[in-house]
Amino acid sequence: MRKYCPAVVALFVVTTSLGAQQPSQAGTPAVAPAAELSVGTAVENRELVGAAETFPLSAGKLFCFSRISNAAGSEIEHVWFKCDAEVARVKLMVGVSPWRTHSSKLLGDDGAGDWRCEVVHNGTVIQTARFTVQ
């Protein structure tokens, strides 16, 4: 059976329990989640293509592309609205910060009108992209 020096064991316990403090533990308030958001016609090579504020109905499908900061390890939602009616809700996991992610929406034959896509984190809207389909 091995014998360990009590001073070495105590030093190991003390050093492993003195990890770096999180900002909220150190008295610094946590930074609120933020998002950069835009809508386009495709996502290629992890980048949005065809970003605009007005789209033809013939586009058929649109993509909501977001860059999320300060929400690592959590979940966000892309909530799609046509006029003021919710038409889709997509849950997306956020890995590290910043994190890029996207969702898409098929427009359908009755897709013309005013739209918006919101990024929601823990029930709070953190960014909105508004666009029109003609």
- CB-based contacts of 94, cutoff 8 Å, min separation 6: 68, 71, 72, 73, 74, 75, 76, 101
Q: pLDDT digit string (tens) for 34-82?
A: 999 999 999 999 999 999 999 999 999 999 999 999 999 999 999 999 9
Distance CA(131)–CA(40), nearest Å, equals 10
What domains are defined for the chain?
A: 28-133 (2.60.40.1930)
pTM (predicted TM-score) = 0.77
Q: pLDDT digit string (tens) for 72-126?
A: 999 999 999 999 999 999 999 999 999 999 999 999 999 999 999 999 999 999 9
